[in-house]
Amino acid sequence: MNKNLLPSALLMLFMGSIVACSQSSNLNAGADTQPEMNLDEGGKQEGHHQYDLTEQVARMGAVGYSTGGVFSPDAGRIGFVTNASGVPNVWMADADGGNLRQVTHSNDQVGGVSWSPTSGTLAITIAPGGGLNSQIYLLPEEGGEMRMITAGGRVNNWLGDWSDDGRFLTYSSNADSENGMDCWLYDTQTGESRLIVRNQGIGVCTLSPDNTHVLAQRMVSRGDNDLYLVHVDSADEQLLTPHEGVAISHSALFIDNQTVVFATNIGREMLALSRVDIADGVALPSVVLVGREDAELAGIEKLDQNRLLLNWNVYGRSELAYFDLESEEMTAGPRLPAEIAGAPKASIDGAQVLLTASGPAMPRNVWRLDTLSGTFTQISKTPHEGVDLGALVRPELRTYTAHDGLKISGWLYMPHGQNSPGPMVLSFHGGPEAQARPWFNATYQALLSRGIAIFAPNVRGSSGFGKTFVNLDNGRLRFDAIKDIEATMKFVTNARLADPERVGIMGGSYGGYMVMAGITEYPGMFAGAANLFGIVNFETFFANTEPWMAAISSIEYGDPATEGDLLRDLSPIHRIDRIVTPTIVLHGANDTNVPLVEAEQVVEHLRKRDVAVRYVLFPDEGHGWRRTENRVTSDVEIVKWFETHLR
The mean per-residue pLDDT over the stretch 9-14 comes to 37
Higher pLDDT, 42 or 178: 178
pLDDT band, residue 8 (cuts 50/70/90): very low
Q: Is the pLDDT of residue 31 over 80?
A: no
Instruction: Please tell me the predicted confidence (pLDDT) of residue 51.
Output: 55
In a domain, 436, yes or no: yes
pLDDT band, residue 39 (cuts 50/70/90): very low
In a domain, 543, yes or no: yes
User: What is the DSSP code string of 140-156?
Assistant: ETT----EE-S--TT--
The mean per-residue pLDDT over the stretch 310-320 comes to 97
Of the listed ranges 32-41, 61-70, 527-536, the least confidently predicted one is 32-41
The secondary element (H helix, E strand) that includes residue 195 is strand 192-197
Q: Is the pLDDT of residue 2 over 70?
A: no
In a domain, 517, yes or no: yes
**C-beta separation of 643 from 635 below 8 A:** no
Q: What is the pLDDT of residues 333-342, one digit of tens each?
A: 999 999 999 9
Q: What is the pLDDT of residues 161-177, one digit of tens each?
A: 999 999 999 999 999 98
Instruction: Please tell me the predicted confidence (pLDDT) of residue 221.
Output: 80
CA distance 399 to 601: 35
Mean pLDDT of the chain: 90
Q: What is the pLDDT of residues 261-279, one digit of tens each?
A: 999 999 999 999 999 999 9
CA distance 206 to 215: 5
Q: What is the pLDDT of residues 224-262, one digit of tens each?
A: 899 999 999 999 999 999 999 999 999 999 999 999 999
In a domain, 139, yes or no: no
In a domain, 555, yes or no: yes
**C-beta separation of 446 from 635 below 8 A:** yes
Q: Is the pLDDT of residue 26 over 70?
A: no
Count up the domains in the chain and report the number: 1
In a domain, 315, yes or no: no
Q: Between the CA of residue 16 and those of 298, 432, 436, 588, 591, what are the distances in Å?
A: 19, 9, 11, 12, 12
First-last CA distance in the chain: 44
**C-beta separation of 286 from 266 below 8 A:** yes
In a domain, 490, yes or no: yes
CA distance 239 to 220: 13
**C-beta separation of 344 from 299 below 8 A:** yes
**What domain range includes position 634?**
19-62+386-645
Half-sphere exposure of 643 (CA within 13 A, CB side): 25
CB-count burial class (<10 Å; 0-12, 13-18, 19+) for 564: middle
**C-beta separation of 28 from 617 below 8 A:** yes
Alpha helices in 450-596 (DSSP H): 467-470, 478-494, 510-521, 538-544, 547-557, 564-570
Q: What is the pLDDT of residues 452-500, one digit of tens each?
A: 999 999 999 999 999 999 999 999 999 999 999 999 999 999 999 999 9
pLDDT band, residue 591 (cuts 50/70/90): very high
Q: What is the CA radius of gyration of the chain?
A: 24
Q: List the CATH number of the domain containing 507.
A: 3.40.50.1820
Instruction: Please tell me the predicted confidence (pLDDT) of residue 3.
Output: 39
CA distance 594 to 519: 19
Instruction: Please tell me the predicted confidence (pLDDT) of residue 50.
Output: 56
Q: Is the pLDDT of residue 193 over 50?
A: yes
Instruction: Please tell me the predicted confidence (pLDDT) of residue 143.
Output: 78
CB-count burial class (<10 Å; 0-12, 13-18, 19+) for 405: exposed
What is the sign of the dihedral through the CA atoms of 315, 316, 320 and 323? positive
In a domain, 379, yes or no: no
